[in-house]
Amino acid sequence: MSRVSFILIALACVIFPGRAFAVNTPIGVYGQNAQSCSLPWGGSVNHGVSATAYQSATVACGSSCPSQTRQCTQGTLLGTYAYGSCTAPCADCSLGGYTTAHGSSRTYYAAAAATSCSGISRTCNNGTLSGSASYTYGVCNQHCSVNGTQVNHGTTATFYYDTSASPCSSISQSRTCTNGSMSGSSSYIYSSCTSYSYYWSASGFGGCYGSNTSCYGGATQTQSVYCRRSDNGSIVSDSYCGGGKPATSQSCTVGTPCKFRVTSVDIGPCGGTAYTVGSDKNGQQCYSAYSNEDVYYQSTSGCGYDYRQAVNHQTCVLCASGNFVPDTFTSPNGSGVVISTTRCQ
């Protein structure tokens, strides 16, 4: 070292006490006597070489690291900082199974699954998330809605093509909800189904009607027969009902004998040869003759109406006064019906 350099250094020490000054003295000045310096954090530097040192190894998140340059001078390392590196670490945020880096943001939700997923953005600041602590789920899966029926995310439900069928299993489908989307066909939207069957519906046979030509005669009775659904009674095609269709008509027999009302019309005058038929009444002689008489038989019960005309020769009585009355005759059912028992008066 030259005399001038020595004087300048000494003067600086007086003016700036406590300060260390690096003197970039060429190694060649000391020759083989130049000494290196050991670094506090390990390793060494040669005489005249500088190294950056830090006040501490770590500082608070977001803070800067204080540093200084330390120079080796003939075995002496100028300065006081003893750390070769410094970091200002910031903690990440972990919540709901997800990690959010410091300074980054992530959307969090109030539930892991919901009918409507609405979240908020939360920012990580050195291990602390901003926003409401009620939003703790990193993912929200949305439930599904099918025709007003809720199906939770990850679950399976059975839906039907219609609200009724025969049977319902023939129109069913299992559908699974995955984050708001339903599997399967969108035509299957009904959550319930009523199974129904088909049956024959008969009204029952009505009365026994028809033309009868004799007592206890035959006739026909009818009924209405339909194929119906068991759930609502609606009429469907006969092809849906199994088995034989019940008869819609059948023969029947009138259950009681025919009863006739007898009407005598237009009794003609007595004719033929008169002869004595009995004793006198009131001193007059009665004579017998024949008269043509139109007789109508009208059925009145169970047989409908059956008009039959018979032109008969009825016995009549010729009276002296010229009046006449019919005698008895036989009705169709075999019993004698008396029209009049009066003889000549």
Residue 268 has pLDDT above 90, yes or no: no
| pLDDT tens per residue, range 293-320 | 444 444 444 333 333 333 344 444 444 3
Average of per-residue pLDDT across 11-39: 59
Phi first, then psi: what are they for 340, rounded to 5°? Answer: -160, 140
pLDDT of residue 220: 83
Which of 140-149, 260-269, 282-291 is predicted most confidently?
A: 140-149
Nearby residues of 121 by Cβ (< 8 Å), 6 or more positions away: 105, 106, 107, 131
Give the Cα separation of 159 and 167 in Å (integer): 14
Residue 29 has pLDDT above 80, yes or no: no
Does 247 lie in the same domain as 178? no
Average of per-residue pLDDT across 186-200: 94
Q: For residue 162, give both structure tokens.
A: 């219609």
Residue 83, domain member (yes or no): no
pLDDT of residue 228: 95
Residue 148, domain member (yes or no): yes
Average of per-residue pLDDT across 1-25: 46
Does 185 lie in the same domain as 215? no
Q: For residue 104, give both structure tokens.
A: 């980054």
Cβ–Cβ under 8 Å, residues 339 and 326:
yes
For tokens 């009049």, what's the residue? 340
Does 203 lie in the same domain as 188? no
Per this entry, what is the length of the chain? 345
Cβ–Cβ under 8 Å, residues 302 and 322:
no
Residue 49, domain member (yes or no): yes
pLDDT of residue 255: 54
Residue 88, domain member (yes or no): no
Q: For residue 331, give both structure tokens.
A: 């009705």
The end-to-end CA distance of the chain, in Å, is 197
* Tally of structural domains, the chain: 5
Does 177 lie in the same domain as 243? no
| pLDDT tens per residue, range 110-152 | 999 999 999 999 999 999 999 999 999 999 999 999 999 999 9
Residue 336 has pLDDT above 60, yes or no: no
Residue 87, domain member (yes or no): no
Residue 329, domain member (yes or no): yes
Does 159 lie in the same domain as 117? no
Does 51 lie in the same domain as 15? yes
Which of 32-41, 118-127, 287-296, 316-325 is predicted most confidently?
A: 118-127
Average of per-residue pLDDT across 171-187: 96
For tokens 């019940």, what's the residue? 246
Does 244 lie in the same domain as 213? yes
Identify the DSSP state of 278: S
Nearby residues of 84 by Cβ (< 8 Å), 6 or more positions away: 39, 40, 41, 42, 51, 52, 53, 54
Residue 32, domain member (yes or no): yes
Among 61-70, 89-98, 116-125, 258-267, the range scoring the smallest mean pLDDT is: 258-267
pLDDT of residue 157: 98
Among 28-32, 64-68, 323-327, 333-337, the range scoring the smallest mean pLDDT is: 333-337
Does 295 lie in the same domain as 272? yes
Average of per-residue pLDDT across 9-34: 52
Neighbours of 138 (CB within 10 A): 19
Does 148 lie in the same domain as 137? no
Paired strand residues for 299: 260
Give the Cα separation of 176 and 159 in Å (integer): 10
| pLDDT tens per residue, range 199-257 | 999 999 887 766 544 444 567 889 999 999 998 899 999 999 988 999 999 988 765 44
Q: Across the chain, what does the average pLDDT equal?
A: 74
Print the domain residue range for 107. 93-141
More confident residue, 12 or 108: 108
Q: For residue 31, give both structure tokens.
A: 């020759």
Residue 86, domain member (yes or no): no
